[in-house]
Amino acid sequence: MGKRRLFTWCTVTLLTASMLAGCGGTKNEAEKPAVDKSETKTNNTDTSSATGIDTSEKVELQFYMLGDAPKDLPTIQEEINKLALADLNATVKFNFTTWTDWSQKYKLLLSSGQPIDLIFTADWTEYQSYAKKGAFLPLDELLPKAAPKLNEFVPKDMWEAVKIDKKIYTVPATWKEYVTEGIAYREDLRKKYNLPKPESLETLEQYLDGIRKNEPNMLPLADNQGYHAGAVRQLTTKIVNSSNTVPYGLNIMYDKPRDVTSYWGSPQHLADLKMYKTWADKGYWPKNVLNIKDSGHDVFANGKAAAILGSENPNRYNDSVIKIKSLHPDWELGYFPYPNAKGFAQPVHPIHNGFAIPRTSKNPERALAFYEKLVTDKRYNWLTQYGIEGKNFEVEDGKYYKMLGDAQSNGFPREGMQGWAWRNPQFMLFDKSFDAVLNMFNEFDKIAKPDIFQGFPEDWSPYQAEKAAVEQVEKQYLYPLNVGLVEDVEGGLKLFMEKAKQAGLDKIQEEYTKQWLKYLDDIGQ
Amino acid sequence: MKDNHAGMSLSFKIISYIIISILSLTCLFPFLLMISGSLTSNESIIRDGFHLIPQVFSLEGYNMVFTFPDQLIKAYSVTIFVTAIGTVTGLFFITMAGFVLQRKDFKYRNQFSFFIYFTTLFGGGLVPWYIMITNYFNLGDTYAVLILPGLMTPFLIILMKNFIKSAVPDELFESAKIDGANDFRIYRSIVLKLSMPGIATVGLFLALSYWNDWFLSSLFINDSSKYQLQYYLYNMINTMLFVSQMSSGTGVTLAQEIPTESTKMAMALVVTGPIVFLYPFIQRYFVKGLTVGAVKG
């Protein structure tokens, strides 16, 4: 009893200490990877045999995915387990975090020492920082042994792109996808009032003015959250991200990535803000625009607004098209993707979707072997992406996905397990309506350039306090400027810059630039 | 008391009635909006916003909620089960603890009280707690994890202790002892009977905290058939939030059905319903204690 309690206390204190270290900064991080390496090495020598992997002992793999479980998950799991038991002498338990507090739960799962064999990773789940902190197993040595097929299947440059500190920690998804944004507008109204296609700032303004004049009950713009500020940057510059802006008001252009300047406070910024002011005066958005919580996408897709500038990527735009087709067949939508204005399109970075093996995994080899099956074996892949053929879906015309029943009655809709990471281009089935998106992707392919921004592992621990302060200042002083609520734009911008500098903007920009340049060195740009 | 009423001037009465009515109207208003929202068609909510009287009447919200009621009913029964078991056992433990802690013949009562009180000030934090429950107690994915953590709240124990102290005079214990009652008998026949208002208060607190709990489901439950009602609802709304926030930046598309505005309102109404009825039933226990006159002199 005494011993056990002591042990508990030790683990608790140790964990708290490690947590503090994780929050506190970089002090301990230098030592950590060394420990990781030695541990994985002992792991390897324990279980490895000369060729392939040892499957003599039956194991249950814990598989963690974000989001909600589909209704038919138990049947799918049963089917998968039949296959996995025969192939790998393993069964899998699919666990889902739900979308409630997923980021907190994700952190708990990785820090609590619970045995987990496979877990989803993405740039937006902070893959880079978890990998740096040593939450995942390095896969470089495991891959050729446990999953040779997968190792071959994923292109070399993708393996290179997901490396953190020269080690692979996640298996990237290989399907090339574009999440670039664009202007979605009402083609039928544009034709009706003979307005120009909104493909540049001038034509966009003409289009919005025309709508304002002819459709007084309609909102010209649906960007309630002030997304237009980021969207205009996408439309008018060759900015390095594929959506929104570079953080902390920095200016990084794709063609000259080493040239980092500040956009905030620049003459261009002032000119843009003045333009937003005139937009607001013309009534492109309502006065209480900062308080509206409705998503712009819904507002646009329900016909309340005539255009949306931010957040409409090809996938989403297609969503609006389908929705409008069923509700108002007489309407017509148009779309102008920003890549056309920028002259290049960036597919998502390989780290955007992936699966990693946490360090707590008891069977890393079996887990990787199972993941290989999931990606490269059509039976596994279809089961987990589309469900059971004949029950959940059908293949139409040899290549299209067709859901059986509707979204309510079907227990496993398309990609019902959020299986973005193990999409395999060779096996993928699309809904007929998705052809429009695929066509768009094909167009983008012609002007595709690799994404150099998304893989950047920003480490904000040196300026964590300043980051929070600047964000607060941004909300308080810049947002009203963005939506034209401040009469004196020049004075407002000056005030914002003053407050931001007080909050430590200079320090952030300096440190961020330093990290960015180092990253460019690492990837050889 | 009577005098006070008679002395209240008419104008004072009128003013107080007006103030109270305005206050209650402001409390009712959001609830009315919710009811009307649940009866409006979703498109109309997005186009015109919420109105007190539905602009386009529709039952689609309720249709959505009740077409596949199995999950909702399951969540409902989990919550009712957890609330009932949790409240009854919780009350038992809390009154027991309160009874013992206020007995003057219990030598270490102050130390124990302090120990309990101490935990309200200093806790291990979320991560150790999570590790404790999942790795050492192995309570993940069980009904027990929904009940146990909320069973004995320090605040309620202290409340109960003080309540028993004020409601049951020490002399009663002595006299009961002289009459030959043992401690359990005293607990059952005197303490429980005399501290009914306190038990009702603590019971209501407990029941409400069980009914409104979603955090435990969120952390420890993986199996969707064990979700509590509030979590089931909260999660639906979060899913929608996630879709609107993330899909813009990441191109994430979710396959699941996303609840519409009217569905959310209908769900909220279905969820708040039963617990509202708890108040009138419990209210009658909130009468003053019955001890007045038990001890003379």
The 10s digit of each residue's pLDDT in A321-374 is 877 887 788 888 889 999 888 888 888 888 888 999 999 999 999 999 999 999
Give the nearest partner residue to A68 out of B126, B134, B239, using CB atoms: B239
Question: Do A77 and A105 fall into the same domain?
Answer: yes
Tally the C-alpha atoms within 13 A of residue A190's C-alpha that lie toward its C-beta.
20
Q: Are residues A334 and A469 in the same domain?
A: yes
Residues A340 and A483 both lie in one domain: yes
Q: How far is CA B258 from CA A180, B62, B67, B127, in A?
A: 24, 14, 14, 31
H helix runs in B39-108, sequence order: 42-48, 60-67, 69-102
CB–CB contacts below 8 A, A to B: 122
Which residues, including other chains, have CB under 8 Å from residue A69's CB and lie 6 or more apart? A94, A96, A417, B224
Q: Return d(Cα B193, Cα A298) in angstroms, integer.
A: 58
User: Of A409-423, B18-32, B37-51, B237-251, which has the strongest mean pLDDT?
Assistant: B18-32
Q: How far is CA A446 from CA A177, A187, A340, A345, A347, in A?
A: 13, 25, 11, 9, 11
Pure H helices in B135-258:
144-147, 154-167, 170-178, 183-186, 192-194, 196-212, 215-220, 229-250
Q: How confident is the model at residue A64 (pLDDT cuts 50, 70, 90)?
A: very high
Give the per-residue pLDDT at B287. 58
ipTM, 2 dp? 0.71
CA distances from A116 to A120, A147, A167, A358, A416 (A): 11, 18, 20, 6, 21
Nearest-neighbour CA in chain A from B155: distance (Å): 25
How far B217 CA sits from the closest chain A CA (Å)?
10
> Is residue B297's pLDDT more than 50?
no
Spatial distance between the Cα atoms of B80 and B83, rounded to a whole number of angstroms: 5
CB contact under 8 A, B256 and A68: yes
Over 80: is that where the pLDDT of A208 sits? yes
Both A364 and A500 in one domain: the answer is no
pLDDT at A21 over 50: no
- CATH number of the structural domain B68-286: 1.10.3720.10
| Residues A342 and A447: beta-carbon distance below 8 Å | no
Same domain, A199 and A327: yes
* Mean pLDDT, all residues of chain B: 82
Kindly determine whether residue B222 and residue A416, on different chains, have CB atoms separated by under 8 Å: no
How many Å apart are CA A134 and CA A130, to the nearest integer?
A: 6
Look at residue A27 and tell me if it is in a domain.
no
pLDDT tier for residue A32 given thresholds of 50, 70 and 90: very low
Which domain range does residue A326 map to? 179-344+458-525
Structure confidence at residue B89 (pLDDT): 95
Tell me the average pLDDT across B59-65. Answer: 78
Q: Nearest Cβ partner of B130 from A68, A112, A315?
A: A112
Q: Is A424 inside a domain boundary?
A: yes
Interface check B246 vs A, CB under 8 A: yes
| Residues A296 and A330 placed together within one structural domain of the fold | yes
**To 10 degrees, what angle do helices A505-523 and A464-473 make?**
120
Q: What strands lie across the sheet with A400-403, from one edge to the other? A: A393-396, A400-403, A430-431
For A86, phi and psi rounded to 5 degrees?
Answer: -70, -40
What is the average per-residue pLDDT within A387-391? Answer: 88
| Residue A243 touches partner B, C-beta closer than 8 Å | yes
Q: Which two tokens stand for residue A497?
A: 């810059």
**A143 half-sphere exposure, CB direction, 13 A CA radius:** 20
Contacts of A464 (CB under 8 A, 6+ apart): none
Under the banding of pLDDT at 50, 70 and 90, the label for residue B289 is very low
CA distance B223 to chain A (A): 8
The answer to whether position A23 is within a domain reads no
* A378 and A418, same domain (yes or no): no
A271 shares its domain with A318: yes
Mean pLDDT over B273-285 rounds to 73
- Is residue A115 pLDDT above 80, yes or no? yes
Q: Is A85 on the interface with B (CB under 8 A)?
A: no
- Parse chain B into domains and list their residue ranges: 2-64, 68-286
A268 and A337, same domain (yes or no): yes
Task: Using the Cα atoms of residue A295, residue A300, residue A305 and residue A306 in order, give the sign of their dihedral.
Answer: positive
| pTM, to two decimals | 0.76
> How many domains does chain A divide into?
3
Contact B240, B259 (CB under 8 A): yes
Do A407 and A464 share a domain, yes or no?
A: no
Residues A325 and A211 in one domain: yes
Nearest CB among B218, B247, B257 relative to A408 is that of B257
Q: Assign A513 a pLDDT band (cuts: 50, 70, 90).
A: very high
A313 part of a folded domain: yes
> What is the distance in angstroms between the Cα of A150 and the nearest Cα belonging to chain B?
24
How many CB atoms lie under 10 A from the CB of residue A348?
A: 22
Q: Which of A100, A179, A297 sits opposite B235 (nearest CB)?
A: A100
pLDDT attached to residue B259: 58
Convert A283-309 into a string of H (helix), E (strand) and C (coil).
Answer: CCCCCCHHHCCCCHHHHHHCCCEEEEC
Is A471 in the same domain as A403?
no
